[in-house]
């Protein structure tokens, strides 16, 4: 039972990690905490489901088209709603993105209704035996796909010119602009990448969670994962997501059911009391 829940928790935790990475890369590049990240996940799922059910597209066509749509959607949101907030007071940015999350959630409800829908999976549902545990093909596929995507992201940031431009902007916006990096373009591309990550996370988790407009609340579980790992740290987002996912599953198995719902926040409070900057966070020191 322990190894069973450990593997299932890793599957859910890897989804939290992907959403937390979306939080992290947007924050590092633009200093905007995007509380609408969960709703971007919902929009990606519904757009994909529409193409699959209404247009009878196969999964292997609908999924790439969804990623293209979400990249454009992220750029549009950044251009219309977010670019004017860059550099503003943090409270204004937080309230704006919370408001954006409500708008996107209820627009999704108006367009696709508030019903719950089954979502197809690209992975087989049959069970696989891994040592002492048995895991479904969907959970195993989620783990494999999530970690493969994280490896691709590592290569993207390390080896591509756009990835290097994003890293430079994250470290010093003024310095990046001086050496020829288009900061505005990096902002747009960062939001596009954040929206794509949200869509991928949604399409991976929806087959085991079902799809409705409230699926975006998973973003509020991923936010503690980002803070836990050290907000702004991509490795921290991955570790934080896995810790939250595994802890939730184990708490739901060995403790009362209600503990599962608050396990993420209990862990967050404990870690922040011991290490306020998070596991991988760097404590900034200022000379007075």
pLDDT range class, residue 286, cuts 50, 70, 90: very low
Strand, coil or helix: what is 136?
strand
Q: Give the confidence band of 30 by pLDDT, cuts at 50, 70, 90.
A: confident
34/36 Cα distance (integer angstroms): 5
DSSP secondary-structure letter at 212? -
Q: What is the pLDDT of residues 208-267, one digit of tens each?
A: 888 999 998 888 888 888 888 887 788 888 888 998 988 888 887 778 777 787 888 888
- For residues 19 and 41, give the distance between their C-alpha atoms in angstroms, rounded to a whole number: 8
Q: Residue 58 contacts by C-beta under 8 Å, 6 or more apart in sequence?
A: 52
Q: How much helix, strand and coil, in percent to the nearest 5, is found in the chain?
A: 75, 5, 20
* Residue-level pLDDT at 288: 43
The confidence score (pLDDT) of residue 279 equals 78
Instruction: Tell me phi and psi for residue 52, to 5 degrees.
Output: -75, -45
Reference 192, options 67, 47, 17; nearest CA is 67
Q: What angle do CA 229, 234, 239 make, to 5 degrees?
A: 45
State phi, psi for 136 to the nearest 5 degrees.
-75, 155
pLDDT at residue 213, rounded to an integer = 92
pLDDT tens-digit readout, 170-203: 777 778 888 888 888 888 899 999 999 999 999 9
- Place 283 in a pLDDT band, splitting at 50, 70 and 90: low
Paired strand residues for 133: 130
More confident residue, 67 or 2: 67
At 183 the pLDDT is 83
Q: Taking the CB of residue 134, how many other CB atoms lie within 10 A of it? A: 12
d(CA 137, CA 140): 5
Over range 54-66, report the average pLDDT. 91
- Amino acid 199: pLDDT: 94
Domain boundaries, the chain: 13-215
What counts of helices (H) and strands (E) characterise the chain? 11, 2
């Amino acid at each position: 039972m322990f190894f069973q829940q450990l593997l299932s928790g890793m599957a859910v935790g890897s989804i939290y990690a992907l959403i937390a990475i979306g939080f992290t890369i947007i924050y590092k590049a633009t200093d905007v905490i995007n509380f609408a990240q969960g709703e971007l996940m919902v929009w990606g799922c519904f757009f994909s489901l529409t193409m699959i059910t209404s247009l009878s597209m196969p999964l292997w066509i609908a999924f790439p088209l969804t990623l293209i749509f979400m990249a454009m959607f992220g750029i549009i949101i950044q251009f219309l709603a977010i670019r004017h907030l860059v550099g503003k007071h943090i409270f204004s940015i937080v309230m704006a993105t919370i408001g954006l999350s409500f708008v996107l959630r209820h627009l999704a409800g108006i367009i696709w209704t508030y019903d719950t829908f089954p979502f197809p999976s690209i992975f087989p549902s049959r069970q696989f035996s891994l040592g002492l545990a048995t895991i479904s093909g969907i959970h195993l596929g989620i783990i494999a796909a999530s970690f493969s995507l994280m490896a691709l992201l590592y290569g993207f940031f390390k080896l591509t010119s756009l990835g290097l431009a994003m890293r430079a902007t994250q470290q010093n916006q003024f310095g990046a602009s001086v050496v020829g990096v288009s900061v505005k373009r990096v902002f747009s591309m960062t939001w596009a990448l954040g929206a794509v990550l949200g869509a991928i996370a949604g399409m991976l988790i929806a087959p085991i969670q079902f799809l409705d407009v409230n699926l975006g609340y998973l973003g509020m579980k991923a936010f503690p994962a980002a803070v836990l790992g050290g907000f702004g740290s991509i490795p921290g987002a991955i570790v934080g997501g896995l810790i939250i996912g595994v802890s939730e599953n184990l708490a739901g198995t060995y403790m009362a059911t209600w503990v599962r719902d608050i396990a993420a926040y209990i862990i967050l409070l404990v870690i922040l009391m011991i290490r306020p900057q998070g596991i991988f966070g760097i404590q900034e020191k200022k000379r007075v």
